[in-house]
Structure 1
Amino acid sequence: MPNLLAAENISLALGTNQVLDAVSLGVGTGDRIGVVGRNGGGKSTLLRVLADAQPIDTGRVTRVGGLTIGMLSQDDRLDPAATVGDATLGDRAEHEWAGDPRIRDVLGGLLGGVGFGAVGGPDAIVGTKSGGERRRIALAQLLIDDPDLLLLDEPTNHLDVEGVQWLADHLVRRRSRPDNAFVTITHDRWFLDAVADHTWEVVDGRVEQYDGGYAAYVLAKNERARIAAATEDRRQNLLRKELAWLRRGPPARTSKPRFRIDAANELIKGEPEPRDEVELVRFATTRLGKDVIDLIDATVDVGDKRILDKQTWRLAPGERTGIVGVNGAGKSTVLRAIEGSQPLTAGKRKQGRTVELAFLTQEVRELDRYDGQRVIDAVTEVKSFIMLGGKEVSASSLAKRLGFSGARQQTRVGDLSGGERRRLQLLRLLMTEPNVLLLDEPTNDLDIETLTSLEDVLDGWAGTLVVVSHDRYLLERMCDRQVALLGDGRIRELPGGVEQYLELYAAQQRSAPAQTASTRTDVAASTPAASYSAAEQREARKEMARIERTLGKLADQEEKLHAALVEAATDPARATELDGQLRAVHAQREELEERWLEVGEIVE
């Protein structure tokens, strides 16, 4: 496919750090590209170079004539004096935006609908909004403007699970046409797998390019490491372990890229499960006994909001539970109730005598008093050695596993980045050897490599774990059980995992009180669907049925092409030919899905 943008031999040094070193790459029409890499490795700088917001030292970046580029950076560039309506919709007339299905989709997905209920309405002032709300407003503005090339730097920050799901669906549906493309930096592995058909890894001044999303990236990176006879045994072991979990994961994951399945199965043959559940529970029971922490008929109120209403939750030794829920449902409050710092309005909290509890909050200012110390000193102050996975592990060794190299361990805490401070905070907690660990959004500011290392460390940790996170991948990988808070005071079991939570959330939204009559009337009057005749709607339903039949046939073709690609793994010419056919099927499918959505607007 033709390039919208091409970079040739670009190099850039910032101070003594060679961020980009003779990098060449291109963004083609219809490309969906995910960018990964360690914190501070140059991902955001690369995006700024592509956006023409960062000068380069050498090389050339070529853009097609008339190309429009929009970038969501991690800096807040909204006018604080503007209204939310002006910031998102500009000078568009109400009938123009309210009648546009694409704009309504964005408003519904990010800002609570056409009334902007999630951010206080269109007349609210941007400067009064929280950081998370401003982030949503900036993202909505960008998606509504719909540039040819969309550059997103950590777009899932401040989005909850349902927001991440919506954004993934929106990008795949709306942003993979032949006339546009997007590039997104993300540490959210589920999101990467859901949206990307290519992955770039920024590492040591290079940009390594892979086909597919996270699952394909893990496999290809592992194969490259084997072929190159890499000596980094630890990293290879982590990649194999991660790949093993990907292949053994939830059934839904099999819808992700399937090329080289036989190679993947051969690679992980004999690889043990990430955790020995029976052994870990046995160890946890030995450390904790039968009693951990119980909330019995617990009611928790914060102000006039009821977070829990007569709920009983008994944590078991070795239990690994993830908490998901709507914004404002009180997930962090529930963690504090388990910890004991949040008083109960009614009911009882009971804690076992042997419990040693550690709580990773979202607050990293607790490290401020260590700013003048070296990293390793801040760790060894807690303890020099711990037992992990039945083995004695030194503070320096564990620090290295969590991304602090020997040289970086000598850095002053005050000079650490946000992601490094988060790692240090977690490292200090692990050195206390807790047997109950509460983690509140542990993925904040952590890159994928660090997350993988953290999961590996916790695989050998015997204790009870409770995690609040919007990161679906982490919840599936780290936890054996999920529960949901939907804002009704109840704790709901999710045997179906996050997918079941999204179904419950959607059902809750459908049963919520409808918009006021005046709002419904205004929107209906400006919505084209309201003016279609019964005959036109019947024709639209027929076309939808035809599209669905064709999509079924394309799915069968896709299955056969995937199987053929596996057989042609050792024949590059044949694999290239099949890959071209597969891309054509993908393009046809996406075009039909887009048409299905357009026709769906008529029959709604």
Structure 2
Amino acid sequence: MANLVNLESVSKSYGVRPLLDGVSLGVAEGDRIGVVGLNGGGKTTLLEVLAGISPPDSGRVSRARDLRMAVVTQRTELPEGSTVREIVLPGYAAEHEWAADPRIRSIVDGLGISAIGLETPTSGLSGGERRRLALAAALVAELDLVVLDEPTNHLDIEGVRWLADHLLARRIALVVVTHDRWFLDTVCGRTWEVADGRVEQYEGGYADWVYARAERARLAAAAEEKRRNLARKELAWLQRGAKARTSKPRYRVEAAEALISDVPEPRNTPELLAFAKRRLGKTVLELEDASLQAGDRTLLDHVTWRVGPGDRIGVVGVNGSGKTTLLRLLAGEAEPITGRRVEGKTVRLAHLKQELEDLPGNLRVLQAVEAVAGRVTFGKQELTASQLAEKLGFPASRQWTPVDDLSGGERRRLQLVRLLMSEPNVLLLDEPTNDLDIDTLQQLEDLLDSWAGTLVVVSHDRYLVERVCDHVVALFGDGKVTHLPGGIEEYLRRRASLLELPARPTPEQRPKEQQPGMSAAEHRAITKELSRLERKLDTLHEREAKLHGELAEAATDPDRLMELNTELKALLTEKEELEQRWLEASEAVE
């Protein structure tokens, strides 16, 4: 496949800090690449250099001639005095011209542009609506490559699913920065991890990246031990939950499974529930015959809903369905029109809102955390203020930064740290994944695993909801709070039914692609080759294990170490080649 964009020895710095240092990589036709890494680590800079928005300090960026590329960044600027139609459908004078194209109709409906209104002036739109307009305008065009920076922000779960399906159906090349792990795993076939000025490349989406990173951490030095432990717990979740797709040969999967074989369950639900009942008693938060309105819309219509001790509930619904208002009602910040809200006597409630709260600007980050408490307990784990701040994205070097100098994303993370330091026993979280990178998300989930209390989460991040919640409820616009035993998949099926659209088939329901023209004899030959490769790989796998043992025993013999290391390198090269052949053969018979 032809290359669309190439970076050769590209470097880019801001101040004295190198964000890209001699990076070489390329994007080919049909590539779907997810970009991950810590906030501030250089992900957006990589996208801007690749897209030509920002020039490199050194190195070379080359693009295919007549490349049709669209870029949607987080900085959305729309022309003054424009309308929605002029931004999204600039080349169409009449409605029938674009309405006759099913692809364009799907974009207009799937991103909620119809609901905004084509003749609506852009000047009065919210930031999220402006981002959706920019995304729609990019996707309407005929493209070879689309470059997206956090496209799932401001999309609800349904919108994220639509975007994933649309990009898969288009078969255009994609480079996307996102912290939405379900989206990464569903859409992306490769992953770039930006860290310390370098870009590490992995085959596969989020699950494959976790496997590969865990294996690398397993073989790394002791300095990587902390990162390895987090990867092990994440892998345990991937194995015990709905298994994510992985393209790795089974030998790599087995290595990862050996790594997590002694990892306990991500959380001990019965133990946490018993502890929560002791802390909270029988009554936590209850709505009795409650009704609530927003303008002319009825959000709740005589609803009775009880949130009990230890409940972990995810709340889903389209944008504007009333999820945030429901959290405000549970928090006691909004009053029902009819009915009442009941709060247990022992409840200590904390509410993470989407809006930034006032923070003590005269303090530094660590001082602002310690002003709440010096230590906090999560299950059997006790953390200092500094340790919790580090877990949620404030390394020691950043903890003495004045609060007034923090970015918006950092201020929200500090808001979350201070909230957790108050040791609440009821947590209401409204879109907690906003402004968190994947590593920080893993840390947050790790903390919530051992947190004994009641949790209600509003989030469009389906991975987070499925990871930390035991139950899912939905607001469908009918004035009810609907419990969904089938979780997110049931929500999407019900929404598709309401909209009279075909539900997206589950992986088990999707038909296997048939290889055209393969005879029975060819199928037998490939199957035989697979068996031969597996036997050979088993032999290499056993020899590799023995070599690692011999290397440990020869720690004081430099000559023997060099001899064994040379043999190990040759073995690993042969194993890599055989694994690739095994993968190609296995794909041929699927």
TM bucket normalised to smaller:
0.7 to 0.9
Letter in 1 for 2:123: G
The alpha-carbon deviation at position 119 of structure 1 amounts to 1.1
User: CA 1:358–1:11 in 2, change beyond 3 Å: closer, same or farther?
Assistant: same
The alpha-carbon deviation at position 85 of structure 1 amounts to 1.2
Q: Greater relative contact order: 1 or 2 (C-alpha under 8 angstroms, separation 6 or more)?
A: 1
Matches within 5 A, 1:58-97: 58-94=58-94, 95-97=96-98
1:486 equivalent in structure 2: 476
User: CA 1:126–1:585 in 2, change beyond 3 Å: closer, same or farther?
Assistant: farther
Q: Distance in 2 between matches of 1:64 and 1:303?
A: 52
The alpha-carbon deviation at position 549 of structure 1 amounts to 7.5
2:213 equivalent in structure 1: 221
Quick check: 1:118 aligned with 2:108?
no
Q: Distance in 1 between matches of 2:200 and 2:447?
A: 27
Of 159, 183, 190, the match for 1:191: 183
2:5 equivalent in structure 1: 5
Quick check: 1:359 aligned with 2:356?
no
2:46 equivalent in structure 1: 46
1:576 equivalent in structure 2: 580
User: CA 1:363–1:560 in 2, change beyond 3 Å: closer, same or farther?
Assistant: farther
Q: Distance in 1 between matches of 2:527 and 2:115?
A: 45
TM-score (norm 1): 0.84
The alpha-carbon deviation at position 258 of structure 1 amounts to 5.3
Q: Distance in 2 between matches of 1:214 and 1:70?
A: 24
User: CA 1:150–1:582 in 2, change beyond 3 Å: closer, same or farther?
Assistant: farther
Letter in 2 for 1:24: S
Matches within 5 A, 1:438-449: 438-449=428-439
Greater displacement, 220-229 / 376-385: 220-229
Matches within 5 A, 1:179-578: 180-250=172-242, 253-257=243-247, 259=249, 260-367=252-359, 370-510=360-500, 551=513, 568=537, 571-578=575-582
Residues 213-266 of structure 1: per-residue CA shift (max 9 Å, x gap): 00000010111112223423221111100011011112xx34454543322322
The alpha-carbon deviation at position 471 of structure 1 amounts to 0.3
Mapped contact 2:403–2:411 kept (Cα < 8 A): yes
Q: Distance in 2 between matches of 1:243 and 1:391?
A: 21
User: CA 1:101–1:346 in 2, change beyond 3 Å: closer, same or farther?
Assistant: same
1:172 equivalent in structure 2: 168
Greater displacement, 221-230 / 237-246: 221-230
Letter in 2 for 1:312: T
SS in 1 for 2:223: coil
Greater displacement, 102-111 / 186-195: 102-111
Letter in 2 for 1:91: G
SS in 1 for 2:80: coil
Q: Distance in 1 between matches of 2:153 and 2:588?
A: 33
Q: Distance in 1 between matches of 2:54 and 2:245?
A: 38
Letter in 2 for 1:237: N
The alpha-carbon deviation at position 93 of structure 1 amounts to 4.4
The alpha-carbon deviation at position 120 of structure 1 amounts to 1.8
Residues 284-333 of structure 1: per-residue CA shift (max 9 Å, x gap): 11111111111112111222211111111111111100000112110011
Mapped contact 1:328–1:487 kept (Cα < 8 A): no
Letter in 2 for 1:418: G
Q: Distance in 2 between matches of 1:44 and 1:371?
A: 28
Residues 134-160 of structure 1: per-residue CA shift (max 9 Å, x gap): 111110110011321110000111001
Q: Distance in 1 between matches of 2:432 and 2:493?
A: 25
The alpha-carbon deviation at position 455 of structure 1 amounts to 0.6
SS in 2 for 1:218: helix
Greater displacement, 91-100 / 423-432: 91-100
Letter in 1 for 2:3: N
SS in 2 for 1:328: coil
Mapped contact 1:262–1:566 kept (Cα < 8 A): no
Mapped contact 1:198–1:210 kept (Cα < 8 A): yes
Mapped contact 1:2–1:28 kept (Cα < 8 A): yes
Letter in 1 for 2:237: W
Q: Distance in 2 between matches of 1:391 and 1:19?
A: 35
The alpha-carbon deviation at position 417 of structure 1 amounts to 2.0
Gaps of 5+ in 2: 502-509, 542-574
Q: Distance in 2 between matches of 1:478 and 1:355?
A: 21
The alpha-carbon deviation at position 497 of structure 1 amounts to 0.7
Q: Distance in 2 between matches of 1:85 and 1:267?
A: 54
Residues 397-444 of structure 1: per-residue CA shift (max 9 Å, x gap): 111121211121101111112222121101101111100000000011
Quick check: 1:138 aligned with 2:142?
no
The alpha-carbon deviation at position 173 of structure 1 amounts to 1.2
SS in 2 for 1:217: helix
User: CA 1:505–1:258 in 2, change beyond 3 Å: closer, same or farther?
Assistant: farther
Letter in 2 for 1:109: G
Mapped contact 1:33–1:196 kept (Cα < 8 A): yes
Quick check: 1:15 aligned with 2:12?
no
2:559 equivalent in structure 1: none
Mapped contact 1:482–1:495 kept (Cα < 8 A): yes
Letter in 2 for 1:53: I
Mapped contact 2:515–2:588 kept (Cα < 8 A): no
Mapped contact 1:440–1:468 kept (Cα < 8 A): yes
SS in 2 for 1:373: coil
Letter in 2 for 1:412: P
Mapped contact 1:35–1:199 kept (Cα < 8 A): yes
Greater displacement, 436-445 / 386-395: 386-395
SS in 2 for 1:466: strand
Quick check: 1:106 aligned with 2:103?
no
Mapped contact 1:422–1:446 kept (Cα < 8 A): no
Q: Distance in 2 between matches of 1:583 and 1:149?
A: 26
Q: Distance in 1 between matches of 2:445 and 2:527?
A: 35
Residues 37-84 of structure 1: per-residue CA shift (max 9 Å, x gap): 111111111111011111111111121211122100111122132221
Letter in 1 for 2:577: A
Residues 343-365 of structure 1: per-residue CA shift (max 9 Å, x gap): 01111211111000000000114
The alpha-carbon deviation at position 267 of structure 1 amounts to 1.9
Letter in 1 for 2:443: S
Residues 544-582 of structure 1: per-residue CA shift (max 9 Å, x gap): xxxx9773568x99x989x97987585322222344457
SS in 2 for 1:475: helix
Q: Distance in 2 between matches of 1:560 and 1:354?
A: 64
SS in 1 for 2:214: helix
Q: Distance in 1 between matches of 2:147 and 2:257?
A: 35
How many percent of aligned residue pairs carry the same amino acid? Answer: 53
Letter in 2 for 1:68: R
User: CA 1:504–1:309 in 2, change beyond 3 Å: closer, same or farther?
Assistant: same
SS in 2 for 1:8: strand
Greater displacement, 205-214 / 255-264: 255-264
Residues 87-110 of structure 1: per-residue CA shift (max 9 Å, x gap): 111123444422222212211211
The alignment of Structure 1 onto Structure 2 pairs a total of residues equal to 535
User: CA 1:414–1:309 in 2, change beyond 3 Å: closer, same or farther?
Assistant: same
The alpha-carbon deviation at position 200 of structure 1 amounts to 0.5
User: CA 1:560–1:79 in 2, change beyond 3 Å: closer, same or farther?
Assistant: farther
Q: Distance in 1 between matches of 2:511 and 2:468?
A: 39
The alpha-carbon deviation at position 340 of structure 1 amounts to 0.9
Q: Distance in 2 between matches of 1:64 and 1:230?
A: 44
Mapped contact 1:36–1:448 kept (Cα < 8 A): yes
